Structures are given as structure tokens and as C-alpha cells.
Amino acid sequence: MKKKNIYLLSIIIFCVAVAGIIVKYNYKKAADEKKGYVLLERKGALANSNEWKLAKHSSDSLLALIKDNPTDSKSQLRLAALYIQEARVTGDYAYYDVAAMKYINDVLNLDSLNFNALVFKSLIYMSQHHFADGLVVAHKAQQINPYNAYVYGLLVDGNVEMGSYDSAVMYADKMVSVRPDLTSYSRVSYVREILGDYPGAIKAMQMAVDAGGPGDEHTEWTRYQLANLYQKIGDYKKADTLYHISLSMRPNYAYALSGLAQIAMADKDYANAISLYEKADSVVDDYSIKEELVDAYQQSGQQAKADKLSKEVIDELNTNSQAAVANQNLGHYADRELAYAYLKLKDNDKALEHALMEYNRRPNNIDVNETVAWVYYNKGDYAKAVPYINVALRTHSKNPVLLSRAALIYYKSGNEQLAKTTIEQTSLQNPYIDPELRTEAQTIAKL
């Protein structure tokens, strides 16, 4: 056979293969669009609440209405909202993000300018760490209804995550002026914390808690955030009180349990901390709780358990992250989280790979820059860490972990004076700084 004919045959085979892939993709897409989603059974303590009974009843009713009328946008959006909340409660974002997005897209296919559908779509994008996409959709929703407070909250979140902090402040002010409530006060608190104003952040978060209904998941999440602010300033007694209040209002609340575990860790009561973390982990699937459990295992000398759980976390995060690349309706970007997970396994090269992937998406975000800087520090590339840690400090954040890391980076790169000035901005007695980092940072405080 002549070379020309072989070449032509190769092109034909390639085109047929591509066509087959496209047909298969379109078939799967069409099947997904027709697929219905039901509530998954809850496990453990979450399965025994009245809240769960009400959620199941609402879901069954809404699914029946949608089955009778597939163009019932109101019921589709109510079901999407229910699934978004179920994801928060159970931590099963992998399933419920897809489920909610299916019904949201059904609405948008009929009305591309449906405000509530756009708000929900932006919210899910933010949850999946598709922050740039979430901002685009939020801006579209804001143009449709510039008098809705919640959409400004999405604009706050998106701009914070993309590192546009001046815009975040502007939208937070706008949000609270339109509707002063739990969601707007908490956004004000987040922005104040980023700008280094812990007293102002605590005041705003307390207002958010007071504006919510005791026991409601959103309220108790806000109370958890308030307790965490107290931990960052070293007031563990106040944080302990808040976690216990939260558990009295919402029994077995995973994040209050993990908060108490953090306090037990500060007291070096590792057995109690591990018990609390394991209980929290049984209630909700959240990688951050698993990562804290890894630390508890490590500090209690159970390195084998720590390594095993770290690898499980990495596998789960990688699965979700790869799904996010393939389909925006699935999974979420998790490269920053993966960077820290690999650091726990001392795999600095993989940590850097993921840290830079996140940086390429969000080069202005202070947390992302801190991550890149800290990975370079662990690799011993101190000079490379400096420009990133400089960006991480640009909002004058007073986070004690950030300041401790920054001081170490400056010290190792040869700037002892800046290292000392930086470490003086925080208290190394604060248990919020993990023991290994605190021990390292104390060498600077003695200069």
C-alpha cells in the first residue's frame, strides 16, 4: 500500500474514533440530563433527626411534582436548594452538587435569565472552587436583580477567593446595607479578618450568630466560625464555651465536635481529641476534619494511622479534582488542599505541583500564596518563598500561623530583622500554632 493511502486511512480511522467519542459523550450527557436524583439515606446520628424526616418528605413531594410536570421550575429550584443544604449537612458534595446542578440547568434551559437558578449555579461553582466561573454567573445574576442581598454575598466570596479584596469590601458593604442578617454580617466578619481586624471580625460574627435561629445548621456553622476566631486570638476558654453551646443546640454537630477536638489537642489530650475527631468524621465527610485527625494521630505517635489516612484523603481529593477538570458539574478543584496533604507525607515535589496549579488559577489570593511559600520553605528554597509570602501578607492579616510561617521564611532567607518584626505581631503561646511550627518560630523570638 502506498504511503499516501496509508496516511489517508490513518486520518479516516482517527476521524471515526473522534466521532465515536463525541457520540458517546453526547449520549452520556443526554442520559445525565434525563436522570433523576433522590435523597441518599443519611448515616449514623444524622439519620435520627426530625430535620431528616422533613427533608425526605419535601424531596418526595417535589420529585412527584416534577415527574408530573417536567417544566415546573419552582419545584426544581426548591429541590435544588434542598440538595445544596443536604450537601452542607452530610458533606456529600460529590453527589448533591451534581443533583442540584441537574435541576438548575433544567430551569436555565427553559429560562436562561432565571435569577434564582443563576444564584444557585454560582453558589455551586463556589462550593466546587470554580471561583472565576462562579463570579461570572454571580455578576450575571446581579445585573438581573441588583437589589438582592444574597447575590452580593456571592460576589464577596468570589472576589475574596480570587484575591480582589477591595472589591470584596465594597460588595460586603453593599450586602449588609441591603439586608443586615446572618449571611451579610458573616461576610463582613470574613473581610475584617482578612484585613487583620480581629476585634471587628468577632463583633460582626457575633452579630451574625445573634441574627440566626439557634440550632439551625447555618447558625451553628457561624457559631463555629466565631469560636475559631477566638482560637486565633488565643481565647480557648471562650471557644470551648461556644462549641458546647453549639452541641446543646444541634447535638452531634460535626464541626462543634472537631472544635472541641482542637481544644483537646491544645491541652495535649490526644486520646480525647482523636475520639472527638473520629466521631465528627463519622457524621460528615469533610477532608478538613480528616486532615486534623491526621495531625492528632501524628502527635500521639500513631504515624502508621496518620500516613494511611493521609493517603485516603489524597485519593479522595484527587478523584474530585480530576472530575472537576473533566466536567464543571462534578467534583471540585482541590489543589491547595492536596498541597498540604502531600506535605504531611513529606512529598514536597507533589505538594509544589499542586500548589502551583492552584496559584495559576488564583495568583492574587493570599492563602494560595501562603501555600506556595510554605511548600518552597519545606523544600529549602527560601529565596523562592519570599515573594509569595510577601503577597500573602499584603492585606495585613494577623493569622498566627501565617505570621509564624512568614517569620521563618524571612529568617531562613537571611532577613533576621524582618523575621523578628513579623513574629512580634503574634503570640507564640497561642495553641492555634501547631507545636512543630511554634518550636521553630521560637528560635526567632529569642533573637
44-78 pLDDT, tens per residue? Answer: 788 888 889 999 999 999 999 999 999 999 999 99
The answer to whether residue 32 is domain-embedded is no
pLDDT at 62: 96
Indicate if the pLDDT at residue 24 is higher than 70. no
CA distance 377 to 331: 30
pLDDT at 187: 98
DSSP 46: G
Confidence of residue 327 (pLDDT cuts 50, 70, 90): low
In this predicted model, which residue has the larger pLDDT, 199 or 24?
Answer: 199
Indicate if the pLDDT at residue 435 is higher than 70. yes
Q: Report the percent of the chain where pLDDT is more than 90.
A: 84
Name residue 431's amino acid: P
Confidence of residue 320 (pLDDT cuts 50, 70, 90): confident
Question: Helices in 128-164 by DSSP H: which ranges?
Answer: 131-144, 149-162
- pLDDT tens-digit series, residues 220-239: 999 999 999 999 999 999 99
Confidence of residue 8 (pLDDT cuts 50, 70, 90): low
With contact defined as beta carbons under 8 Å apart, do 97 and 107 qualify? no
Indicate if the pLDDT at residue 401 is higher than 80. yes
pTM score: 0.89
The answer to whether residue 378 is domain-embedded is no
CA distance 243 to 153: 26
pLDDT at 21: 39
Indicate if the pLDDT at residue 249 is higher than 90. yes
Of 374, 376, 435, nearest in space to 403 by CA: 374
Indicate if the pLDDT at residue 330 is higher than 80. no
The answer to whether residue 243 is domain-embedded is no
Indicate if the pLDDT at residue 9 is higher than 70. no
The answer to whether residue 247 is domain-embedded is no
pLDDT at 329: 60
The answer to whether residue 75 is domain-embedded is no
Indicate if the pLDDT at residue 16 is higher than 50. no
- pLDDT tens-digit series, residues 344-379: 999 999 999 999 999 999 999 999 999 999 999 999
| Chain Cα centroid distance, residue 371 | 15
The answer to whether residue 309 is domain-embedded is yes
The answer to whether residue 286 is domain-embedded is yes
Confidence of residue 32 (pLDDT cuts 50, 70, 90): very low
- pLDDT tens-digit series, residues 254-272: 999 999 999 999 999 999 9
- pLDDT tens-digit series, residues 186-198: 999 999 999 999 9
CA distance 164 to 439: 34
Of 357, 285, 348, nearest in space to 321 by CA: 357
- pLDDT tens-digit series, residues 87-109: 999 999 989 999 999 999 999 99
The answer to whether residue 242 is domain-embedded is no
CA distance 417 to 104: 55
With contact defined as beta carbons under 8 Å apart, do 284 and 90 qualify? yes
| Domain span at 290 | 270-333
Indicate if the pLDDT at residue 280 is higher than 80. yes
Q: What is the arithmetic mean of pLDDT over 138-160?
A: 98
Q: How many domains does the chain have?
A: 1
pLDDT at 29: 43
Confidence of residue 319 (pLDDT cuts 50, 70, 90): confident
Which grid cell sits at 444? Answer: 526567632
Which grid cell sits at 342? Answer: 502531600
Indicate if the pLDDT at residue 146 is higher than 70. yes
